[in-house]
Structure 1
Amino acid sequence: MSPRTRKILEFLLNNLVWLMLVVVLALFSALIPNYFQLGIFANIIEASSVLGVMSIGLAIVIITGHMDLSVESVAALSAMAVSILFCSAGIGLGYKLSPEWLMVPVSLAVACAIGALIGFLNGVLVVKLKMSAFIITLASFIWVRGLVLAVSGGRSAQDLAPAIRWFAVERLFGIPLSAWIAIACFLIFSIMMTKTPFGRHLIMIGGNETAAFRAGIPVKRNLIIAFIMAGAIAGLAGWLLSVRTSGATANLGVGLLFNAFAAVVIGGVSLKGGVGALPGVYAGVLLLSAINTAINLMGLPATYTQVIHGLLVLAAVLLDTFKQRLHQRLA
């Protein structure tokens, strides 16, 4: 195989999810009436905002070669905390700050701090005590979701403060500001992972933790920071979730973890660590959102969504295996 052919093949494999997204959008536009319009595309971007932000933190941890199953529950707890504080109906306490815009940074700080604290706990248990990330974060997934039920008493909080809700109402180029926050997060963290020493160190740790340690990289510290980041980002996703729904319920966000995993894997992040890019994850999120929108427009049962998502994840895992074997042959 010539070097040029090899580069073309690697480019196609690394950007296959973007090609799939274009093909799927073109196919749906041809088959579904009224699908090809700016309003539908804006809805796809809006619907992907919460899942997209949650997928960022999950992808970062997976790239390091670890796992974080707690992001869904962390997002739910953060959303519930923000809603209890700043909602005026249900179990909401209806706190007001003056001036009103202060509620935005305060609510954001509360959501991200809750997530960062749980992420820190996960990171310390995994890194310092050398416990399984799968088991630790699975336990966090369970106890944090239980905490949501305990704090809320199974009830809901509604009518989020208008100053916070504004981010879901106000639009820029037809897209809510909440979706622009998700896009900005992908840009910022993509730059961090590719252009900063810290991001490159995380990728190196995922590729070979022993080699990274011997190269002088502070592996333990960076891994704990990665878990803290994943928790804080999940907290931000919870904030966006409360903004979109103008409150929170006890079962808010159930099932988001599986969709986040699907987006991460479809986006080209290897579950073995060391391989993956956040732009691909965003394409995976948009692909899932586009499929969900098409299924809703066609009036098909929701079970079709699960079938298609499962098949896409299976195809992504097979593609990842193929890419690894290809790199081994070309090495």
Structure 2
Amino acid sequence: MTGTASPPAADAVEKASVRGSRPRIDVARRRDFSLVPVIFVLGVIGFIVSPAFLTQDNLIGVVQQSTELGLLVLGEALILISGRMDLSLESTIGLAPVLALWLVMPAHGARFAGLELFPAWTAVPLCLAVGAAVGATNGFLILKLRVNGFIATLGMLTMLRGLQVGISEGRSLGNVPESFAYLGKADWLGIPAAVWICPALFALGGAVLGYLRHGRALYAIGGNPEAARAAGVRVDRITWTVLAVGGVLAAFAGILYTGHYGAVSASQGNGWIFQVFAAAVIGGISLKGGRGTLFGAFTGVLTLQLVINVMTLGGVPPLWTQFLNGMIIIIALVISRFTSGEKQD
């Protein structure tokens, strides 16, 4: 922030940020924990459906399978709170690993043998750099060229998906360097590393939103960007940064996913954006910006994954998953409409 704003404007934005980040204790906190009973009920149903539900292997598997989606939800939640949205995260989780491996695979004697471009250890930073570049490009389109955010990121999603398929020639990329696959397949204290990393990143993000000035400013920007700008908040810079961070988180999700399965498929991430928005919406993240918490988003991810797990244990065909995600979004929006007290356009 700068010191150019008038005190009344600054006070207004500070109050708006406080209302967004640690808001309405009686309402927002209750909304944060609203999915906890749902998770408990799903646990009971899961145990009734199959005693294997409560085994350690199954529960750890549920959390591990939530990690990659969870990182996309984390990035999208931060962007939504700031009043924007990014559909291209779905493609970034696939393109970033593909492009990074395309640049380093020659050192491993793969299909581009003889074209030594980058050493294997650079695969991870290259992947994260690709994610940051995608997010920064979205920021340029939205903030500088004033392109509609939905259309810009939808176009980016389509373009990146085509680039991913073109580079990979429609095939999976295997022979993943050990340094790239480590986090996705490593165990720390007998638990997959991803299970430690994902909640830690959510906790870090929650701390930033709750206690750092720029984190609290996201709520002010999402609630009223003009008032935030009048109060001296560097709206464009912070929004641009959040879009880049979202891209980095999507790329990191791609690293975990690739390490977990040992390869990058040509369709990696395809259709995930529907689950991302489902988890964010049922977790209390407002599509209008300025409201929601990362704890709520995290419980949204767990809820979706538990539903899928219970369905799987119950023998329900996975083809119904997309229908269920859409239904969950609609129900969550209807509930939010009548519990938020906001007037709709």
- TM-score (norm. length: structure 2): 0.85
Q: Which amino acid in 1 is paired with 2:254?
A: G
Alignment of 1:97-108 (within 5 A): 103=121, 106-108=122-124
CA 1:46 to 1:213, structure 2 compared with 1: closer, same or farther past 3 Å? Answer: same
Of residues 252, 260, 271 in structure 2, which corresponds to 1:244?
A: 260
Q: Distance in 2 between matches of 1:85 and 1:190?
A: 35
CA 1:10 to 1:150, structure 2 compared with 1: closer, same or farther past 3 Å? Answer: closer
State the partner residue of 2:290: 274
RMSD, matched Cα: 2.4
State the partner residue of 1:166: 182
Alignment of 1:1-331 (within 5 A): 11-85=29-103, 88=108, 91=111, 103=121, 106-325=122-341
CA 1:184 to 1:11, structure 2 compared with 1: closer, same or farther past 3 Å? Answer: closer
Q: What's the secondary structure of 1:158's corresponding residue? A: coil
Q: Which amino acid in 2 is paired with 1:229?
A: V
Share of identical aligned residues, percent?
Answer: 30
**Equivalent residue pairs, number:** 317
The structural deviation recorded for 1:128 is 1.6
The structural deviation recorded for 1:167 is 2.5
The structural deviation recorded for 1:243 is 1.1
The structural deviation recorded for 1:169 is 3.0
CA distances 1:200-258 after superposition (whole Å, capped 9, x unpaired)? 11111001111111111111111111111111111111111211121212111211111
- TM-score (norm. length: structure 1): 0.88
Report if aligned partners of 1:80, 1:242 keep a CA contact under 8 Å in 2. Answer: no
Q: What's the secondary structure of 2:52's corresponding residue? A: coil
Report if aligned partners of 2:36, 2:299 keep a CA contact under 8 Å in 1. Answer: yes
Q: Distance in 2 between matches of 1:201 and 1:218?
A: 9
Extract unaligned runs of 5+ from structure 1.
1-5
Report if aligned partners of 2:102, 2:167 keep a CA contact under 8 Å in 1. Answer: no
CA 1:124 to 1:163, structure 2 compared with 1: closer, same or farther past 3 Å? Answer: closer
CA 1:225 to 1:9, structure 2 compared with 1: closer, same or farther past 3 Å? Answer: closer
Q: Distance in 1 between matches of 2:195 and 2:113?
A: 27
CA 1:118 to 1:236, structure 2 compared with 1: closer, same or farther past 3 Å? Answer: same
Q: Distance in 2 between matches of 1:212 and 1:154?
A: 45
Report if aligned partners of 2:32, 2:283 keep a CA contact under 8 Å in 1. Answer: no
Q: Which amino acid in 2 is paired with 1:317?
A: L
Extract unaligned runs of 5+ from structure 2.
1-23
Q: What's the secondary structure of 1:247's corresponding residue? A: coil
119-128 vs 9-18, which moves further? 9-18
Report if aligned partners of 2:284, 2:296 keep a CA contact under 8 Å in 1. Answer: yes
Q: Distance in 2 between matches of 1:248 and 1:43?
A: 20
Q: Which amino acid in 1 is paired with 2:57?
A: G
The structural deviation recorded for 1:173 is 4.6
Q: Distance in 1 between matches of 2:112 and 2:332?
A: 42
Q: Distance in 2 between matches of 1:216 and 1:154?
A: 48
